[in-house]
Structure 1
Amino acid sequence: MTSIWVGTRGTIRDAPGFNASRDAEAIRKAIRGIGTDEKTLIDILTGRSNAQRQLIAKEYRAAAGKDMKDALKGDLSGNLERIMVALVTPPAVFDAKQLKKSMKGTGTDEQALIEILASRTSKQMKEVAQAYYTVYKKSLGDDISSDTSGDFRQALLTLADGRRDENQRADEQVAKKDAQILYNAGEKKWGTDEGKFIEVLCFSSFPQLKLTFEEYRNISGKKLEDSIQSETSGSFEDLLLAIVKCANNTPAFFAERLHKSLKGAGTDEFTLNRILASRSEIDLLDIRAEYKKLYGVSLYSAIKSDTSGDYETTLLRICGGDD
């Protein structure tokens, strides 16, 4: 059983006065009749935490003899179905499925792989890898290996192993040493020692990395991002830049991803759903604040102008207030 990932800055929390069997019965009624009562489904599933939704699903199965997720899939369609299924899936299983989807079929969705692997804690990645094996009977590492190559593959495998240090205290001497290692591996030499970049960026804790970035600037006179852009390329470059962004400000990283998913021709609903579902109990309040700071409009308004119908209602409920 995987744990539920909860932070203190989520938009969704445990509902007070929660009653799993009552909610399960209400969902059964909403699905059972002629036509679906989407309003009830949205009210219940966006108004409960993931831990509570798992209890509802258990009660639903006991009463109806089938999985609530399957019932939702059979009764809903399109984006509404996808976001509802995301809400009733345990976080580690949801990430595992998103990773599988990003590697399935022809071509790889590198940006989805990068987003998940760069932003999750070691504990979360260990749970995701466990869930991946439980669901697909294959190791996450094996699938990454067969779907990617080179330094990009090596960095992804290191992150998938969940070996990033989780210590929240940073050591100034270590930061100085690591900054010098990065400088020697890139700017200072002809060619790049990509292995050193992987070693520092994929193993150090985020607080440690922040201090390393400061020291790097002292040594080289430039930001590490600029060095990464001039020393690396392609998906490997994208991954390293994502790690730097997450270490500096994880909510800002997600705000930027959300903005990209909402702007331009057509909405990238897969990214939109994934971020809102996976961050709703962790740091969506902070992501909202960063979004407003970066783009001058609220995330709520951006979703409202880019989506419609019951799908829009669901996303706005997950997003919370219009600030």
Structure 2
Amino acid sequence: MSEVSQTPKYSGTVKAYKSFHPDRDAQMFVDNLRHIGGDETAIISVVSSRTLDQRLEIARRYEEQQEKPLLADLKLYTRLDFQRVLLACFTPAIQYDSWSLNEALEEFGTDEKSLVEILISRSNSQIKEIREYYQKMYDHEVDALIKRKTSGEFCDMLLMLATPSRDESNTVSTQLARRDAKVLFKNIPKSCATRNYSFNEVFCKRNFQHLRATFEEYRRLSGRDILQDIRTEFHGHMKDGLKAITEYARSPPEYFAHRLYRSMKGLGTEDSALTRIIVTRSEIDMTQIKEKFNEKYGETLEQFIMGDTSFAYRTILLSLIF
């Protein structure tokens, strides 16, 4: 028996600005970006209350007025983590994702958690565009760099995630979910290529509603939550990747709440992950991410950001999530 599952309704914290005047906003950047003593508050106010499409229109008008790209002036006149957020806010989504993937693969060692995060949360069409743009930007395929920077079963997982082949229907087949659960249960104790292939086929190709049904069937079959067995039977980056897919399939807001928490917990802040998640999810499901963060950690996301970031960086992040 098959049924179509309803996708949960999510909402972002950044909405289209109704009284949008791109020429006026572009002039605001002229007035406050290039001059000593420019008003950072005015910049933050505009950036945090415009959608990506509106920001890109501001950037187009700025370039028409100044005959220079806004991104170039942002790099010239802003600094450090504040600059990082502004660049993220004014970079087209596919370009930003391609840059983020490359950063995760190339900069200061491989950032495996960010690789998985980006690849599981983008649609097939987005992944296809990212692959095309990545090759154009860096003159080599993303697959080649994945093979060079990762290995073994985790490399196989990333290559499958980086291929736009996930079922995107909302159809859940009870019969297939039971069959997938049996395959996973049968193979999970085996440390072999067959196990890795079976898990990658299910975790990387099935739609997320189907995965939730499969996890329920797995619980009925084994008497355990599948995450328990993943933690016990898998190791290293493969274990982390399977955990991330499981958590994302069950609840994207809860998964991202956990990613945000980990980006700020402990020594130092993972600025790249913190920035990327807040910027890219602010128009999608940031309202629900904040709710889950509070539920899981007994502290609001706003409180956590206040205690772990510099002033300008903190101010723009908070403005994006209110």
- Where does residue 142 of structure 2 map in the other structure? 140
5+ residue gaps, structure 2, are: 1-8
Is 1:23 aligned with 2:5?
no
Q: For residue 306 of structure 1, report the CA deviation from its aligned partner.
A: 1.7
Q: CA RMSD in A?
A: 1.6
- Where does residue 3 of structure 2 map in the other structure? none
Alpha-carbon distance between aligned partners in 2 of 1:135 and 1:87, rounded to the nearest angstrom: 19
| CA gap 1:106/1:275 in 2 versus in 1, 3 angstroms | closer
Q: Is the 8 A contact 2:248 2:255 kept in 1?
A: yes
Is 1:295 aligned with 2:297?
yes
Match of 2:285 among 283, 286, 310: 283
Q: What code does the residue aligned with 2:34 have?
A: R
- Where does residue 273 of structure 1 map in the other structure? 275
Q: Is the 8 A contact 2:55 2:90 kept in 1?
A: yes
Q: What code does the residue aligned with 2:14 have?
A: I
Q: What code does the residue aligned with 1:103 have?
A: L
| CA gap 1:35/1:134 in 2 versus in 1, 3 angstroms | farther
- Within 5 Å, give how 1:152-301 maps onto structure 2: 152-187=154-189, 189=190, 193-301=195-303
Q: For residue 134 of structure 1, report the CA deviation from its aligned partner.
A: 2.9
TM-score, normalized by length of structure 1? 0.93
Alpha-carbon distance between aligned partners in 1 of 2:23 and 2:134, rounded to the nearest angstrom: 29
Alpha-carbon distance between aligned partners in 1 of 2:36 and 2:122, rounded to the nearest angstrom: 42
Q: What code does the residue aligned with 1:124 have?
A: Q
**SS of alignment partner, residue 168 of structure 2:** coil
Give the fraction of aligned pairs with identical amino acids, expressed as a percent.
Answer: 36
Q: What code does the residue aligned with 2:307 have?
A: S
TM-score, normalized by length of structure 2? 0.93
**SS of alignment partner, residue 306 of structure 1:** coil
- Where does residue 4 of structure 1 map in the other structure? none
**SS of alignment partner, residue 307 of structure 1:** coil
**Large movers: runs of 4+ above 3 Å:** 189-192
Number of residue-to-residue matches in the alignment:
313
**SS of alignment partner, residue 264 of structure 1:** coil
- Where does residue 3 of structure 1 map in the other structure? none
Q: For residue 164 of structure 1, report the CA deviation from its aligned partner.
A: 0.8
Alpha-carbon distance between aligned partners in 1 of 2:76 and 2:236, rounded to the nearest angstrom: 40
Write the deviation string for residues 234-269 of structure 1: whole angstroms up to 9, x where unpaired.
111110110000001111111011111122232222
Write the deviation string for residues 140-195 of structure 1: whole angstroms up to 9, x where unpaired.
222112211111111101111121111112111110111111112114x5756111
Alpha-carbon distance between aligned partners in 2 of 1:137 and 1:67, rounded to the nearest angstrom: 23
5+ residue gaps, structure 1, are: 1-6
Q: Is the 8 A contact 1:159 1:202 kept in 2?
A: yes
Q: Is the 8 A contact 1:165 1:203 kept in 2?
A: yes
Q: Is the 8 A contact 1:36 1:75 kept in 2?
A: no
**SS of alignment partner, residue 307 of structure 2:** helix
